[in-house]
Structure 1
Amino acid sequence: MKRFLTLLKIEGKLALRGIDGVFFGVIMPVGIALLLGMICGNKPAFEGATHTYLQENVPAIITVGICATAFMGIPLGIADYRDKKILKHYFVTPVSPSIILFVQVAINMITAIVSSLAVFITMKIFFGYEMTGSIVNFIFAYFLVMASMYGFGMLIASVCNNVKAANLVCTIVYFPMLFLSGATIPFSILPDGLQKLSNILPLTQGIKLLKGYALGIETNLTIPLLVMLISIVTTVIFSIKLFKWE
């Protein structure tokens, strides 16, 4: 634990110096939420709906911050350390791959949580957003989705040899997740073909889970729950097993 806390303190100070995480992890999700609110206001999600368009889509917007930190923060940070031979120096210390990875997870988790709170507070103040479902279940789903996305980020961080490779893989994974899962473009307006394609993305299932709990519609969430749990276990195990020091 002492090793973890020491490294966490160092990484926390370094994270405060970077603006990328704040912009993509916090400012961007809040901007998307404000844009959606100005366009849609408190219109019903569809004709005869008992919830508004915002109530349906705000739970999806908070995943923008999760994805930004998962696919930009964790992999690029570790890959940069690998490029600069910093990990090679860690290899001869008592610091293990799991400590290095989980410290990065903890730092980026703080950014993602701040991002989510900023989105909810902004939507509450300017558009009167209210969650109709269970807040406890929603928080559970939120951390489950975060763990799933961070698992993929850890896996990319573990196997990419350098920053260029990490950038390429993150781009290939990040942008389809961002635009096809419903995080930025509402899933309901996507053509049928794209909806079928996006259903294979783990984040799509995660957003279904968040929406279900946020709206109090807790039926048919077994598949999203299983996808989240399987992806977490698989990616975390492989990220630690496949970790490259250089």
Structure 2
Amino acid sequence: MKRFMTLLKIEQRLSLRCPDGLIFGIGMPVGVLLMIGLIAEQQTISQENYTFLQSAFASLITVGICATAFMGIPLTIANYRDKKILKHFFVTPMSPKLILCVQFCIGAIISILSALLVSICAIVIFHYQMEGSILYFILAYCLILVSMYSLGMIIASLCPNLKVANVVCTFVYFPMLFLSGATIPFEIFPQFIQNLAKVLPLTQGISLLKDISLGIYHQDMIYSIIYLLVMAIIGCIISLKTFQWE
């Protein structure tokens, strides 16, 4: 625990030197929420019984997770691998589990801060009220966080250098961000795009959060929960088993 806390404090300070996570993980979702709230606060989505604001809240609250999972954890670990920092860690008591857990916690702090700011803006400025259970919403958010981070840790463990990690993260991050409904309402996509996007774990996560926030509970939610759980377990196992020091 002492090694964990020491490394966590150091990584927290280092993360402040690179504002990318704060910009994309916190600034962007809050900015998009304000824009949607000012332009289309009370407008309803075609053939749906909820407004753009209600849809945007459940979606934008996951942007911080997506940003840190694919632009934070993998790039940090790959950068350390490039600079031979992991090679130095190899001859210390540090383990892949400890290194990944610390990066997980750093990303989770930014993600939770993002979710809190989006929630505060939605409630204070636009008087947003959640129809469903707040407890279930928080539990679903945590499940999505673990599931998405497990995929990010796989990329972090397998990419040999920063250049490869940048390419892989770009091809994963942007489709996940734009096709899952995180920034663009999922309902406005053509049907064939919706069918393709449902394969993405973030799509399943946002759908789950949206239903819970609207107080809509149905049997299909179980499939989303199982899907995210399986992704989380498999991702964590693969990332630990395939971690490369150099």
Q: The TM-score by the shorter chain falls in which range?
A: over 0.9
**Structure 1 stretches of 4+ moved >6 Å:** none
2:42 aligns with 42
Distance 1:47 1:228 in 2: 28
Q: Is the aligned partner of 1:238 residue 2:234?
A: no
Deviation readout 1:61-86 (Å, 9 max, x if unpaired): 11111100000110000000000000
* 1:47 positional shift: 5.7
Q: Aligned partner of 1:29: which letter?
A: P
1:102 aligns with 101
2:88 aligns with 89
* 1:127 positional shift: 1.3
* 1:25 positional shift: 0.9
CA contact (8 A) 1:42 1:127 kept: no
Output the TM-score relative to the length of structure 1: 0.97
2:23 aligns with 23
1:144 aligns with 143
CA contact (8 A) 1:79 1:160 kept: yes
* 1:44 positional shift: 3.2
Matches within 5 A, 1:122-201: 122-201=121-200
Partner of 2:217: helix, strand, or coil? coil
Q: Aligned partner of 1:58: which letter?
A: F
Output the TM-score relative to the length of structure 2: 0.97
RMSD, aligned α-carbons: 1.1
Mark the CA change 1:54 to 1:94 in structure 2 (over 3 Å): closer, same or farther.
Answer: same
* 1:48 positional shift: 7.4
Q: Is the aligned partner of 1:71 residue 2:73?
A: no
Q: Which runs of 5+ in 1 are unaligned?
A: none
Identity of aligned residues (%): 56
* 1:211 positional shift: 0.8
CA contact (8 A) 1:29 1:62 kept: yes
1:218 aligns with 217
Deviation readout 1:117-175 (Å, 9 max, x if unpaired): 11111112221111110000000000000101100110000000000000000011111
Distance 1:48 1:145 in 2: 24
CA contact (8 A) 2:45 2:187 kept: no
